[in-house]
Chain A
Amino acid sequence: MLYARLIVMRLLKAVVVLFLIVIFNFVLIQLAPGDPASILAGEAGATDEEFLRQLRERFGLDQPLYVQLWHYVSGIATLDFGWSYRQGMPVLDLILARLPATLLLTGTAFVLSLVLGIVAGSMAAARVKKPSGSLIMALALIFYATPLFWVALMAVVLFSVYLDWLPAYGMYTVGAGHTGLALMLDVAKHLVLPATTLALFFMAIYTRMTRASMLEASQQDYVKTARAKGLSPRVIQRRHILRNALLPIITLAGLQAGQMVGGAILTETVFAWPGIGRLMFEALQQRDYNLLLGIFFFSAALVIVFNIVTDLVYRLADPRIKEAS
């Protein structure tokens, strides 16, 4: 009940935020030089005034800005995200076609980075002052400091070109006609490199955060209490320190999960992953306003959803919040 009410209220708030984001982005994009008509014309390699006029009229770009905004906003209200100028398809279709790929990629990377990061971080926290603990932290720091795209390029060269273990790009083998389990395996194979690359950076963050958080939690009084009970270090580490240390990580992970959608632009570009980040970059380059706005809308919506999920998870993890409310 409480959750239901909470979610409803949060969603209401989300609608307001999304509305503002739509307006903000709409105005922002108008500030960009060039317009979709000139770009489409440019791509054709030839143009005349008539052609540009036709396109602008067709896209409604000849209308005053506020009229365009009104059309757009009222469209959104009925979940009509408009028409992609360049791709000639409804924006919603384009986004829905690409969204699953991004969610698969970022979701995998997210889970991977979170699990590995927490494991590595707890190991490092338990091995403070030992070489193995320092090694974990050094690795985490290096992963953190290495530019993502550089790792991606190197991974392709190593694993696809030299070793030929994994496909270098794409989401599935085109033309192989895989279905069912075979398709899943195929996609999984394609997923390895991009997901790992994307996960490395975030894993580094979680590793460092987990360690710091656990070291702090291990200073708390209740840990002393637990020791006074005669509990073994392993139980204390897991049940008392880790559980408490996870609270700040939940918050961070919630923030990161939303950001990963944007962060996947580079990964999707290098690995030709047909996701929404890449689509966004292309839409921006092509001034495909409707598409770009649609993507912003969806990614902002995702961020908000992740925030709400984070809140709920936090509530599950920390009984104090529930009571306070």
Chain B
Amino acid sequence: MNDTTPVLSIRDLTLALPEGADRDYAVEDVSYDVARGEIMCVVGESGSGKSMAANAVMGLLPKGVSASGGEVLFDGQDLLTLDEKQHRQLRGLRIGMIFQEPMTALNPLMRVGAQIAEVFEAHGKYNARERQERALALLDEVGIPQPERAIRAYPFQLSGGQRQRVMIAMALALEPELLIADEPTTALDVTTQAQILELIRNLQRRHGMAVMFITHDFGVVAEIATRVCVMRHGRIVELGTAGEVLDNPQHAYTRALLDAIPSNVVPQSRDAERPAPLLEVKHLHKVFRSRGGLFKPAREVRALDDISFTLAPGETVGIVGESGSGKSTLGRCVVRLEHPDSGSVMLSGIDYSSLKGDTLRRERHRVQMIFQDPYASLNPRHRVGYAIAQGPIANGVPRAQAMRRAEELLELVGLGAVAVDRFPHEFSGGQRQRIGIARALALDPELIVADEAVSALDVSIQAQVLELLDELKRKLSLSLLFITHDLRVAAQICDTIIVMQQGRIVEEGTAQEVFLNPREPYTRQLLDAIPGRAHEPAMA
């Protein structure tokens, strides 16, 4: 099915970063082709430079980045030599592009139809009415329900997946020869992601375009790629067909990446002996009301709808769900960052959810949390040592002693005691997450809630942090409530998994049961949507 003449041919491309950056080149000596009818996946972790070549193709390099060598041939023309005006004539018309963040990539003040019609306008095609008609047809083609309504909608009225469909419609409007998709599904829920991948694949087949697909996720690669280009630190590590790279990776880095993907093999659960529960959640309810009142009908979202479960000492319970499932609200109710409307959270027999004010503050040390965003969870103005010691200090531990403990904890999480005097910005995302873990441990809590603790991390780092958690769990016999959107990750670390959807518990069982033998269709759907799952046996 492949037409072998490359639509795009990148030759020895080198892009220089501005002075003062952490390295000299964004990409160095990169060469690859994208042929008509194929999907070329460019894979890499953050900072690998995987998007840079695409930006060069579009002529949208960030300020300060400039091509210092090589060429980018499109239809026999070196794109690097084009001026802005010539480049503009290609963009949208012959090369389309989709971006990662559907939430921000559309102009919030323009109707969807107008934004699509703009593509025609930019290239002087059709009259106003025809543009609207074509926009409508495109919306239909990308599978937006009720396109007549959607065309008049503003972006904020659409869901993330729908917005990404609009982006695709815009990119495809003029039937470009080349479509560049820059992490188009990363911000989406797993089931939506599956649908969008499906859509891109179908459209690609129908139109026979060349697609350059940039992603960090080997699962996605497995789903969609014809050929794969693995990048690291601005260089190509491995280039080949999907089959070759996935099934028989040549380079150690590729192998490491593949290994880091949570596998389908679920570790054996520990004995299901159940002592008296440490945490007992009973009939928890929580409704969020958008403040109605004057002009708006109060809108209600049932975040928690009669949630009950228990967690034994030393046990790890995973809460899995997509965005909007209420999983984070549950975690926040347990740690008392939110207050449930009704129901109770019993901690070692004490009703933790009824504590108030100062009493609550004094008891808070019993439940700690590991947060999602390694960049937001540490106060940029505080040294790491203080960040960890502040808990014990607030609970009356003398400062010196608290700081000594912080050093110990930093050793424990593998950062070394010297880290105490440094500021968070001196650390990478993975290292910060370790600091966050140390902080949670500093108060010797009875229970730790980890809210999407690894989802913001690159896959290789994710694996390391999971490993650390697993190790600490064993060493310190921690009790863990592990909240994640990723069933595979949950299966790796949890004893018990609870699947949530729209505020309710859909399924609950041991990790093995849920992961390998789901009873509920929703759980199955979640599992099926995991990209690359079909390839798993081959990859493993």
Instruction: Tell which of A221, A222, A228, A243 touches B58, judged by Cβ atoms closer than 8 Å.
Output: A228
In this complex, which of A230, A232, A319, A320 has the most chain B Cβ atoms within 10 angstroms of its Cβ? A230
B170, A225: Cβ atoms under 8 Å? yes
Instruction: Tell which of B104, B122, B154 touches A323, judged by Cβ atoms closer than 8 Å.
Output: B154
Within 8 A of B (CB), among A274-325: 317-320, 323-325
For A77, the chain B residues whose CB sits under 8 A away are none
CA distance A234 to B471 in the complex (A): 57
A230, B107: Cβ atoms under 8 Å? no
Instruction: Tell which of A6, A231, A324 touches B118, judged by Cβ atoms closer than 8 Å.
Output: A231
Closest to A246 in B: B109
A225, B106: Cβ atoms under 8 Å? yes
For A6, the chain B residues whose CB sits under 8 A away are 294-295
Within 8 A of A (CB), among B470-514: none
CA distance A164 to B122 in the complex (A): 51
Chain B's nearest CB lies how many Å from the CB of A15? 15
Asked, given contacts A2-B295, A229-B118, A235-B122, whether A224 binds B99 with beta carbons under 8 Å apart, the answer is yes
Chain B's nearest CB lies how many Å from the CB of A324? 7
CA distance A202 to B204 in the complex (A): 54
Chain B's nearest CB lies how many Å from the CB of A112? 26
B157 contacts chain A at the CB level, 8 A cutoff: yes
Closest to A12 in B: B294
> Chain A: how many interface residues by the 8 Å CB criterion?
29
B194 contacts chain A at the CB level, 8 A cutoff: no
A244, B122: Cβ atoms under 8 Å? no
Closest to B154 in A: A319
Within 8 A of B (CB), among A38-75: none
Instruction: Tell which of B110, B123, B156, B167 touches A230, judged by Cβ atoms closer than 8 Å.
Output: B123
A229, B109: Cβ atoms under 8 Å? no
Closest to A243 in B: B109
For A235, the chain B residues whose CB sits under 8 A away are 118, 122
For B295, the chain A residues whose CB sits under 8 A away are 2, 5-6, 9, 325
For B88, the chain A residues whose CB sits under 8 A away are 230-232
A14 contacts chain B at the CB level, 8 A cutoff: no
A240 contacts chain B at the CB level, 8 A cutoff: yes
CA distance A317 to B110 in the complex (A): 10
A244, B96: Cβ atoms under 8 Å? no
For A319, the chain B residues whose CB sits under 8 A away are 108-109, 154, 156
Instruction: Tell which of B92, B108, B157, B296 touches A229, judged by Cβ atoms closer than 8 Å.
Output: B92
B90 contacts chain A at the CB level, 8 A cutoff: yes
A238 contacts chain B at the CB level, 8 A cutoff: no
CA distance A224 to B105 in the complex (A): 8
B60, A226: Cβ atoms under 8 Å? no
For B107, the chain A residues whose CB sits under 8 A away are 222, 225-226, 239-240, 243-244
Closest to B95 in A: A228
Instruction: Tell which of B84, B101, B154 touches A320, judged by Cβ atoms closer than 8 Å.
Output: B154
Closest to A6 in B: B295
B119 contacts chain A at the CB level, 8 A cutoff: yes
B5 contacts chain A at the CB level, 8 A cutoff: no
CA distance A240 to B93 in the complex (A): 19
For B101, the chain A residues whose CB sits under 8 A away are 221
CA distance A240 to B105 in the complex (A): 11
In this complex, which of A225, A233, A235, A324 has the most chain B Cβ atoms within 10 angstroms of its Cβ? A225
B104, A230: Cβ atoms under 8 Å? no
CA distance A9 to B294 in the complex (A): 8
Interface string of B286-299 (1 = CB under 8 A from A): 00000000111000
State which size class the interface on B falls in.
20 to 34
A229, B99: Cβ atoms under 8 Å? no
A230, B89: Cβ atoms under 8 Å? yes
CA distance A222 to B294 in the complex (A): 33
Interface string of B154-170 (1 = CB under 8 A from A): 10110000000001001
CA distance A224 to B51 in the complex (A): 14
B97 contacts chain A at the CB level, 8 A cutoff: yes
Instruction: Tell which of B90, B93, B99 touches A225, judged by Cβ atoms closer than 8 Å.
Output: B99
Chain A's nearest CB lies how many Å from the CB of B98? 9
B109, A230: Cβ atoms under 8 Å? no
B50 contacts chain A at the CB level, 8 A cutoff: no
For A320, the chain B residues whose CB sits under 8 A away are 108, 154, 156
A227 contacts chain B at the CB level, 8 A cutoff: yes
CA distance A209 to B218 in the complex (A): 45
CA distance A193 to B424 in the complex (A): 56
For A231, the chain B residues whose CB sits under 8 A away are 88, 92, 118, 121-122
Chain A's nearest CB lies how many Å from the CB of B94? 9
For B156, the chain A residues whose CB sits under 8 A away are 319-320, 323
A230, B92: Cβ atoms under 8 Å? yes
CA distance A214 to B294 in the complex (A): 33
B104, A228: Cβ atoms under 8 Å? no
B91 contacts chain A at the CB level, 8 A cutoff: yes
Chain A's nearest CB lies how many Å from the CB of B182? 10
Asked, given contacts A9-B295, A323-B154, whether A229 binds B106 with beta carbons under 8 Å apart, the answer is no
Chain B's nearest CB lies how many Å from the CB of A10? 9
Instruction: Tell which of A2, A222, A232, A325 touches B108, judged by Cβ atoms closer than 8 Å.
Output: A222
For A239, the chain B residues whose CB sits under 8 A away are 107, 110, 118
A220 contacts chain B at the CB level, 8 A cutoff: yes
CA distance A235 to B88 in the complex (A): 12
Closest to B59 in A: A227
Chain A's nearest CB lies how many Å from the CB of B14? 23
Instruction: Tell which of B84, B105, B119, B123 touches A221, judged by Cβ atoms closer than 8 Å.
Output: B105
Closest to B84 in A: A233
For B108, the chain A residues whose CB sits under 8 A away are 222, 244, 318-320
For A230, the chain B residues whose CB sits under 8 A away are 88-93, 119, 122-123
In this complex, which of B89, B101, B122 has the most chain A Cβ atoms within 10 angstroms of its Cβ? B122
For B90, the chain A residues whose CB sits under 8 A away are 230
Instruction: Tell which of A221, A228, A317, A324 touches B109, judged by Cβ atoms closer than 8 Å.
Output: A317
CA distance A233 to B85 in the complex (A): 10
Within 8 A of B (CB), among A175-230: 220-222, 224-230
Chain B's nearest CB lies how many Å from the CB of A6? 6
- Can you offer 8 A-B residue contacts whose CB atoms are under 8 A? A2-B295, A224-B60, A228-B92, A228-B96, A229-B92, A230-B89, A230-B119, A230-B123
Q: Using a CB–CB distance below 8 Å, which chain B residues touch chain A?
A: 58, 60, 84, 88-93, 96-97, 99, 101, 104-110, 118-119, 121-123, 154, 156-157, 167, 170-171, 294-296
Kindly list 16 other residue pairs between chains A and B, CB separation below 8 angstroms, not including A228-B99, A239-B118: A6-B294, A220-B104, A222-B106, A226-B107, A227-B91, A228-B58, A229-B119, A230-B89, A232-B122, A239-B107, A239-B110, A240-B110, A318-B108, A318-B109, A319-B109, A323-B154
Closest 6 CB pairs of A and B: A230-B92, A230-B91, A221-B104, A229-B92, A228-B97, A222-B107
